[in-house]
A = this chain, B = another copy of it.
């Protein structure tokens, strides 16, 4: 368990008890989430992009096309970006309207993009992008050719200025409301994968691979 340094940007000011700067806690949330939102300032306006990402050690990686306007902008102006992730675990139904809430695990980190130029690092990252979304997939598919590698840009961000914010558990109502005849509790929520649907253009005779057989099973 190692704590990241709390900075002015990452300090949780609202409901600070929900905050955490523990690296393991932050890493676990990043590893479970498939998508993040990357925001950066262009002049006085903040732009944001939803995108996939992976974590490897103390680094977070995103990838995109070399033709993408924002990827090129990130490389050329190296702005400090914020990257946010939220896992929604439940809708919290309190007895009072006011105490309705959400169970969530979120992370925000700040950092500057670094263009990944080392080929081994680049290849490893793209393999893990595929494996994060679908473990077992990389060994099965047609690997990128030279042109495809060249068309893909990978950026890394150090995970050293980050915080997590977490709410778990039952509703918290005002003391006098616990005696009301109102149902209270939590609707658990999750991001679910269902049974894979084959491409209508799938070549005849190609079977669902083993690593996909349990996806979507209850």
Contact = CB atoms under 8 A, between A and B. Distances in A.
A44 B80 contact: yes
Contact of A203 (B96, B140, B180, B202): B180
Interface stretch (A19-27, A53-61, A83-91, A114-122): A83-91
Nearest to A80: B45
Contact of A192 (B43, B110, B189, B209): B189
A138 B93 CA distance: 11
A13 interface: yes
**Max count, chain B CB within 10 A of own CB: residue among A65, A133, A144, A205:** A133
A80 to B, nearest CB: 5
Nearest to A110: B45
- How many identical subunits does the complex contain? 2
Nearest to A96: B142
Given A14-B68, A177-B142, A198-B185, A46 B40 contact: yes
Interface SS of chain A: mixed
A142 B44 CA distance: 42
Contacts of A110: 45
Contact of A185 (B47, B94, B148, B202): B202
A138 B122 CA distance: 51
A91 B134 contact: yes
Interface string A50-72: 10100000000000010111000
Contact of A141 (B39, B97, B137, B209): B97
Interface of A: 9, 13-14, 34-35, 37, 39-41, 43-50, 52, 65, 67-69, 79-82, 84, 86, 88, 91, 93-98, 100, 102, 104, 106, 108, 110, 126, 130, 133-134, 137-138, 140-144, 148, 151-152, 170-171, 177-203, 205-209, 212, 215-216
Given A170-B200, A185-B196, 11 more contacts: A50-B86, A91-B134, A94-B141, A96-B141, A142-B177, A170-B201, A178-B203, A181-B203, A185-B197, A187-B193, A190-B194
